[in-house]
Amino acid sequence: MLTHNHEAVRQLTVCNSCRYCEGYCNAFKALTRYRSFDKPTVSHLANLCHNCRGCYYACQYTEPHEFAINIPALLADIRAQNWEQHIKPSGISKLFQAKLWPYLLMTVVFMVLFSFGAGVSWVSSEPFYSSISHSALVAIFLPLFLLPWIALLFGIRGYWKSVGGSRVAVSDIRNALGSAATMKNLSGGQGQGCNYEAAERYTHLRRWAHHATMYGFLMCFASTSVATIYHYIFSLPAPYALFSLPKLLGVVGGILLSCGTAALAVLKWKADTKLGSANRTNGEYAFVGLLFAVSTTGLLLYWASGTSFAAAWLIIHLSLIATFFISIPYSKMVHSLFRLAALCREAQIQRLASAG
């Protein structure tokens, strides 16, 4: 149950009457279609919002005006409630969304499991697969990867039904992916950028940081995928040379991911907290910090190869990856797929409206 629905109806009705921000982003363009705002509509608009905050700084009805409009914070809260409502069990989702300690606890638990359960030594210069076998890694990480994705996909399915989504056309998916790939809704109404960390000044820094994070993550995932193909199809097991495809994708992707997440953390620190989701700041920092730690320890593990620090970095890196996998459906990582679903639904609505 979305507890902010009455307040959402009030604020969105004011925005719909004013329409000053109509050209700002997909959320405001979509808003003008409606004359009333039920829960599915509010959920859809909330997940279209990228929290660029341009609407807040342009609005004449923010505090101290009696209307007290704060669309970025309102929709941020509703988005988080959406994720917690649809991803089961919701109690775990609420915990990871709001707290730092679950990430720390899981990482410590996995460190113990890898060092004692899997027998990886903390002090050793042995190569990666001499410390822990490939088969052991597959046995550990395959269920850790697949099971959270099952929870996530069921959650996305529930969200899709809740906003009235129907059979998707290829063009809907293409439009949604195009918007996500370019971070179109972080470019501002006229392509001038957003106001996230700079108040009334426009910048593209958050968009660039998101690009580095997203494409760095995808390159790291591609590195693992290519290495899997090399291992099972071409019988070419790791380790790989620096200029091999898995290594190039992993190193470049790791650098991009580390830089992107570090930049996002700095921008979040500069941003006005009252324009974000209340009581979820620690969870957001934890998620960004976890991504940064995963990519950075991966790079350190590569550079420490052959030294006595290699095994320690291996335990830390594997523990962070395991924590990341488990937290995928419950952390802010879910925003990427929920937002993609919202973009897909928006493309579907527009397609059906033009056809009818």
pLDDT attached to residue 127:
61
Asked if residues 181 and 353 have their Cβ atoms less than 8 Å apart, the reply is: no
Asked if the structure places residue 57 within a domain, the reply is no
pTM (two decimals) = 0.90
Residue 158 near residue 334, CB atoms below 8 Å: no
Whether 40 maps to a domain, the answer reads no
* Domains identified in the chain, total number: 1
Residue 104 lies in a domain: yes
pLDDT at 226: 94
For residue 131, the model assigns a pLDDT of 67
Q: Tell me if 111 is assigned to some domain.
A: yes
What pLDDT is stored for residue 2 in this prediction?
46
Q: Please, which residues have CB within 8 angstroms of residue 219's CB and are 6 or more apart in sequence?
A: 249, 250, 252, 253, 256, 257
Domain that holds residue 173: 87-355
In a domain, 16, yes or no: no
Is 24 inside a domain boundary? no
Mean pLDDT of the chain: 90
Q: Identify whether 34 is part of a domain.
A: no
Parts of the chain with a pLDDT under 50: 1-3
> Largest alpha-carbon pair distance within the chain?
68
pLDDT of residue 1: 40
329 exposure class (CB count in 10 Å sphere: 0-12, 13-18, 19+): buried
Asked whether residue 70 is assigned to any structural domain, the reply reads no
Task: Write the pLDDT tens digit of every residue in 243-277.
Answer: 999 999 999 999 999 999 999 999 999 999 999 99
User: pLDDT tens-digit profile of 69-85?
Assistant: 999 999 999 999 999 99
Instruction: Say whether 203 sits in a helix, a strand or coil.
Output: strand
CB 258 within 8 A of CB 291: no
